[in-house]
Amino acid sequence: MKQQKLDPATMKDWEIAQSAESSMKPIYQLADEMGLKTMELLPQGHYLAKLDYRNILKRLSGKTDGKYIDVTAITPTPLGEGKTTTTLGLVQGLGALGKSVTGAIRQPSGGPTFNIKGSAAGGGLSQCIPMSDFSLGLTGDIDAITNAHNLAMVALTSRLQHEFNYSDEVLQRKNLKRLNIDPNRVEMGWAIDFSAQALRQMVIGLGGKMDGFPMSTHFQISVSSELMAILAVARDLKDMRERIGKIVVAYDKSGNPVSTADLEVDGAMTALMVKAINPTLMQTLEGQPVLVHAGPFANIAIGQSSIIADEVGLKLSDYHVTESGFGADIGFEKFWNLKSRFSARKPDAAVIVATIRALKMHGGGPKVVPGKELDRAYTEENTALVEKGVENLVAHIETVQKSGIKPVVCINNFPTDSDNEQQIVRKAAEAAGARVAVSKHWALGGEGARELAEAVDDAACEENDFRFLYEDDTPFRQKVELIAKEIYGADGVSYTPEAEEKVKAVESDPELSKMGPCMVKTHLSLSHDPAIKGRPTGWTLPVRDILTFRGAGFVVPVAGTIKLMPGTASDPAYRQIDVDTETGRVKGLF
């Protein structure tokens, strides 16, 4: 790749991506360099392919796995701190060291792509390409999840209508068993892959008796669907099929769960999902392979690259770099206690991405607002803010250390960072027991990530004592409290009356009580309140609801006021996106 012609200081990310795409490796060349067989590729054009994971893993079952590296971060600003950019930069950096390396990142949701955050393809000279394909639907996984999720709701609302309108005799003639669904205890809503706050609450079924059963319902963003969680944690198609059949859609009037299997829709849902179980193969700007699978939003979902993508990457390379969403309090905690438990895999190293910008915010800097110019405190040297803000970084270092892993702190270099500010971070991180590297992958690509790659290589070759925060048989309430106290720094946990009733039901259920918590919490603070920065003390985590994801295999405590359907801002990204009508190329993505 001719990176010397690509200048992040003067070019937008989409312009860099389009320039680099002219020298992309064709998908068969990329696959051949990875050691893949032609028939293990399911091509989706010249530069994209699904991978036949089943045959790949079967063929390579006896091969030794590569080193397993997770990338997480500190508590970010609303702008994000470049975690995907760093993941891709590390892949490129390891490539610059001559290592055989693969990466695994999550597919972006249409919500942030068309809203404030934009795409999640990385940035500068550390991107995943082709960018427009990556950002705009890719190979259809999220569409499959959306359709399968909504099919479950079609099955539920149809059954409600028929049971309400017909006698037992008529239902029997129609070969339907009465499920006695309680319309006031419907657990699922509908899904759409946009940030659509107008769909958070609604009433459906208005009209005549053939227009559906009147009921209150809601939409959630598609990537928060239990189906996305199942895609992330499933080991194979058989496992995915079994998990989809366990999804609880509602409860009957006696309080018993009504599953997708009860509605006899689980097979059809799996049929819609069957192609989505294969990861998508893409590449970095420098031609290293990247597997894209599962989705974002670790604040309202599991937010991990899939177990299947990681399994494939670990067999195909000596170093496999995977990504967890948001800060270590959310993304790494779920990687550690949920994903690693499901996969039975021990990571060899963990990277914590930090920026001077975010540390200044945690040190008391002015509010960071997307779309507004940053205050001068963030673009000029201010060592006092950095000194105060490193307490947030130290909290995340301690979180990773509690898993038995010695972390590597990556200072994601911005052009406005000063040496004095970076030295403060290095000193604090090393004092806390972490390796530290400054990485300039955004500006220089793989060459700029050499220091980071060397630090990660050292850490990955060091033995660790990986251990879970809790055991399966730890009482569920205690699991939540351990996360709140040990990871977030809370004094304890409180439950609303509704959540208290639900947590009692979890504790009394032999299956649910053994599941781990998949916390729903703001990513903008270690606490439940996005306005509280730094390392908060003297607070209690308020749990207002409990969701049960029997198919995915975890219970979801919902803390604070966070919602499963984000909202679209007044100046969304879609205003900048367009198409060159001469070439058909998309422009304006960021």
Helices 83-96 and 450-460 cross at an angle (nearest 10°) of 80
Position 187, amino acid: E
Active-site entry in 83, 241, 388, 426: 83
Pairing, β 289-292 against β 101-105: parallel
Which residue shows structure tokens 């769960």?
257
Residue 106 falls in the annotated catalytic set: yes
DSSP 8-state class, residue 114: T
Find the length of the chain: 590
Active-site annotation holder among 235, 346, 384, 414? 414
Strand-pairing partners, residue 68, are: 320
If one counts every other C-beta atom within 10 angstroms of the C-beta of residue 478, the result is 11
CA dist 171 and 372 (Å) reads 59
Half-sphere CA count of 427, side-chain side, radius 13 A: 9
**Both tokens assigned to 110:** 């249409």
Whether 85 is catalytic: yes
Say which DSSP state 74 is in.
S
Active site residue 134: no
- Residue 298 annotated in active site: yes
- Under a CB-based contact definition with an 8 Å cutoff, are residues 126 and 254 in contact? no
- Cα–Cα distance between 372 and 360 in angstroms, integer? 17
106, 241, 435, 477: the catalytic one is 106
117 is catalytic: yes
Catalytic residue, candidates 442, 539, 549, 554: 442
Asked about 442 being catalytic, the answer comes back as yes
C-alpha 190, offset from chain centre: 20
CB 25 within 8 A of CB 11: no
CA distance 472 to 516: 7
Note if 554 is an active site residue: no
In the annotation, is 326 catalytic?
yes
Catalytic residue among 14, 134, 326, 476: 326
Phi/psi of residue 379, nearest 5 degrees: -110, -5
Q: Degrees (nearest 5) of the Cα angle 467, 407, 400? A: 45
**Active-site choice (96, 232, 276, 298):** 298
Q: Which residues are catalytic?
A: 83, 85, 106, 117, 298, 326, 414, 442
